[in-house]
Amino acid sequence: MGFAAIVVAAGSGSRAGGDKQWRAVGGRPMVGWSVEALLSAGADPVVVVVAPGAEPRAAEALASLAGWRTVVGGATRAESVRAGLAALDIAGDSPVLIHDAARPFLSASVIQRLLDALDDADGALPALPVADSLRRGLNDLVVGGVERDGLWRAQTPQAFRLNTIRDAYAAWSDIETPTDEAAVVERAGGRVRLVEGDARLMKLTYPEDFAMAEALLPKTTRIGQGYDVHRWGPGTSVWLCGVEIPHDQTLIGHSDADAGLHALTDAILGAIADGDIGDHFPPSDPKWKGASSDRFLAYAAERVVARGGRIINVDVTLICEQPKVKPHRQAMRERLADLLNLPLDAVSVKATTTEGLGFTGRDEGLAAQAVALVELPV
């Protein structure tokens, strides 16, 4: 069954700290989850209702999707829904799903249940039975109970035929503010059916709700490894894992030649299959001449965050005859923890020699290898 959809994303989101519809959940703007779910289920068109001036933000947030368009909403949710309905140029008996952008985890099964319910009802909404005990309170004291039998937690999207919801809004008195579209259709005498909702279809309202939403996302863990080598040359200090160590030589390279940070940067990029350090910071580019490798590592970490992921732990091994790493190891761990926003116990730095074998054993250069464990949304 073909259908259209309206995603209401014009609110201020003040309780969540403002502009929550554009805030990232799982590495993507929250509004994008709902728009993609509706498009994937066959919605055509999808109208995204935004605040005045927010069209560029919608274009950026939904750049990877096609089949949607924006319309400017009003000061209230009802005004925004009316604006979305006015923008639809479809047959009057076509189903329309009206959804809050603040409910990102919309499933195809919920959409199908809503569409099926319109066969013998004027509207449909997903709902969950109230499971908790309910109490009335006054001044922080319990003053009575509420019978929960027959009580439901209403969710969105809510489904109606286009003419049904348009006519119901035309009959609604502007003196009142409707709680949702189901209330508008009920007031007009329509029958609204309850269908099985989804606990994951929670509304993200407060800052702590976003942490819960991130926890609900299915995750996968990936391991990346990195390796880097630099030769010794004339100098008075060497940079290793973001710490400058006085030494009678330095490592030669295009940047600051911090082999520890280079190996770790490659490990993180490898964990998210995002190329290597040379792809992002080519040595042929003069602007990276003498650059601090802190920038490379911070960039790799930002790439993880942009994917909705997090770095779980890292482990770096420096392979050299000199300098002595142990006196500086704690400072290195602290520097890496700071750069990656990790607890100290998630950062390991070790050193070893090759017992006089190979180029490191001959004191011709220094090598570093690193491993990073990253968690990403599926």
Contact 165, 85 (CB under 8 A): yes
- Measure the CA–CA gap between 273 and 268, rounded to whole angstroms: 9
- What does the pLDDT look like over 21-80, one tens digit per residue? 898 888 889 999 999 999 999 999 999 999 999 999 999 999 999 999 999 999 899 999
Cα(228)–Cα(243) distance, integer angstroms: 17
C-beta of residue 226 within 8 angstroms of C-beta of residue 264: yes
What is the per-residue pLDDT across 103-136, written as a single tens digit (0 to 9) for each? 999 999 999 999 999 999 999 999 999 988 888 8
Sequence-distant (6+) residues with CB within 8 A of 104 are 25, 30, 31, 33, 34, 204, 213
Q: Show the tokens assigned to 165.
A: 């919801």
In single-letter form, the type of residue at position 117 comes to: A
pTM: 0.73
Q: Where are the domains of the chain?
A: 3-136+143-216, 219-377
pLDDT tens-digit profile of 213-270?
888 888 899 999 999 999 999 999 999 999 999 999 999 988 899 999 999 999 999 9
φ and ψ at residue 189, rounded to 5 degrees: 95, 10
**Which stretches of the chain are assigned E, i.e. beta strand?**
3-9, 24-25, 28-29, 43-50, 68-72, 95-100, 123-129, 134-138, 141-146, 152-154, 158-161, 192-196, 219-234, 237-240, 243-246, 249-252, 310-319, 347-352, 365-377
DSSP secondary-structure letter at 49?
Answer: E
Determine the topology of domain 219-377 in CATH: 60s Ribosomal Protein L30; Chain: A; (3.30.1330)
CB 96 within 8 A of CB 5: yes
| 194-214: pLDDT as tens digits | 999 999 999 998 889 888 888
Is domain 3-136+143-216 annotated with CATH 2.40.50.100? Answer: no
